[in-house]
A and B are shown apart, each in its own frame.
Chain A
Amino acid sequence: MTTQEALFRYTLQIGDNALILGHRLGEWCGHGPILEQDIALTNIALDQVGQARSILAYAGKLEGKGRSEDDLAYLREERNFYNLLITELPNGNFADTIARQFFFDAFNFYFLTALKNSKDETLAAIAEKSLKEVTYHLRYSSEWVIRLGDGTEESHQKMQKAVDDIWNFTGEMLLMNEVDKMMAAEGIGVNLDEIKSLWDDKVDEVLSRATLQKPESTWTQKGGKQGVHTEHMGFILAEMQYLPRAYPGAEW
């Protein structure tokens, strides 16, 4: 793999996380537990889809085959998506969505903080822009983990179950594949080993304030960054890609 090819794959990894999680959050539209939370989840979805747009537009440029951000989002096959498995998991109940969001936001916050120093100016600019938004996301999801965990007996039990259920999908965020290693070595990408302890500390801090137990398992599900997905991914793409595939070139 050349550096240019690795950079293209790297931008897809980052962009696909934002796109798929943004799509998942968008599914809450009209279904939030209360109006304010419906609006909050869809605001976060909007930020993430916006971030995906910036980065996939850049990916298309890097590839040089004339593909736009829309082509990359709506006309790619499942095996060519490189998002983390955690981003494609179903929304579940509100606690499940919050657990997924918190673990990902905590990762994304430190990831983007480091990516701001990328040698690649476009990635650094996108990271700088996105980080401002993700700071609000992390605050939102952290506060909800605490509020539900340290809430009523029932909310505590549901929040703990949500954390336990999703835990084995968190490890993949900090695993480096070949692309990550190449990009980190070039000073373009983030050395995930360097943000692991930051992520751990944040998770410890929030879970302890939430009176929740951190699961002990160190085993992790993985495959997303290699294009091998859970059974949920096909259903997401079927819905997300339906319109542009059924009506090629359709415009708003």
Chain B
Amino acid sequence: MITKHKISSIWKILENVKDPEVPVLTVVDLGIIRDIRYHNDELEVVITPTYSGCPAMNTIATNIKLELAANGFEKFKVTTILSPAWTTDWLSEEGKKKLKAYGIAPPVKETLDKSVLFGEQPEVECPQCASTQTKLISQFGSTACKALYQCQTCKEPFDYFKCH
């Protein structure tokens, strides 16, 4: 006997699935869940990758399936779409707070624009001491979604979740 769950309760269930590389963020915080819908009695969860080569995506899809199975779902699938392309604008406010508390500076400007092409740097606040005297060390950090910064005040290096 299949009972359909309310879509809102499924969103709640998916909050248990964390980003394996930034474990303070849930897949809901990240904004990568694009849709949850039923086709007759089959549930479909639609996700979109953060970056084309993000190695966490396979794990995330598996973890979503495991979470659904653990909650008694039997017929479900996870599908991936590429458009509209994921943007850091979809990070939840809650997610940004969690990132900062975890020591990763959240994205400061909305979406990436052409200013990225040359020079213009956003003012990034140090997640340790809140100083804005920070310096970009490298546009590419420990994962595809992060840049490497250093605080000029407390001297601590930190990750910045870059605009995308």
Contacts of B52 in A (CB 8 A): 47, 50-51, 53-54, 129-130, 133
Chain B at the A interface: SS class: loop
Nearest Cβ distance between residue A39 and chain B, in whole angstroms? Answer: 6
Stretch of A64-72, A120-128, A223-231 at the chain-chain interface = A120-128
Chain A at the B interface: SS class: helix
Judge if B7 is at the interface, Cβ distance under 8 Å. no
Quick one: which of A37-94 are within 8 Å of B by CB?
37, 39-40, 43-44, 46-51, 53-54
Q: Which partner residue on chain A sits nearest B113 by CB separation? A: A135
Stretch of A138-146, A151-159, A213-221 at the chain-chain interface = A138-146
Contacts of B86 in A (CB 8 A): 129
Nearest Cβ distance between residue B47 and chain A, in whole angstroms? Answer: 13
Decide: A128 and B84 in contact? CB cutoff 8 A. yes
Decide: B138 and A125 in contact? CB cutoff 8 A. no
Contacts of A232 in B (CB 8 A): none
Decide: B53 and A46 in contact? CB cutoff 8 A. yes
- Whether A129 touches B139, Cβ cut-off 8 Å, given contacts A50-B51, A51-B52, is no
- Whether A139 touches B118, Cβ cut-off 8 Å, given contacts A46-B53, A47-B144, A53-B52, is yes
Judge if A36 is at the interface, Cβ distance under 8 Å. yes
Quick one: which of B97-155 are within 8 Å of A by CB?
112, 114, 116-118, 137-142, 144, 148
Nearest Cβ distance between residue A68 and chain B, in whole angstroms? Answer: 14
Decide: B82 and A128 in contact? CB cutoff 8 A. yes
Judge if A242 is at the interface, Cβ distance under 8 Å. no
Decide: A43 and B144 in contact? CB cutoff 8 A. yes
Given A43-B141, A125-B82, A138-B117, 12 more A-B residue pairs with CB atoms under 8 Å apart are: A36-B148, A39-B141, A44-B140, A46-B51, A46-B53, A47-B144, A50-B51, A125-B81, A132-B85, A132-B87, A136-B112, A140-B139
Interface residues of A (CB under 8 A from B): 36-37, 39-40, 43-44, 46-51, 53-54, 121-122, 124-126, 128-130, 132-133, 135-136, 138-140, 142
Interface residues of B (CB under 8 A from A): 49, 51-55, 81-87, 112, 114, 116-118, 137-142, 144, 148, 164
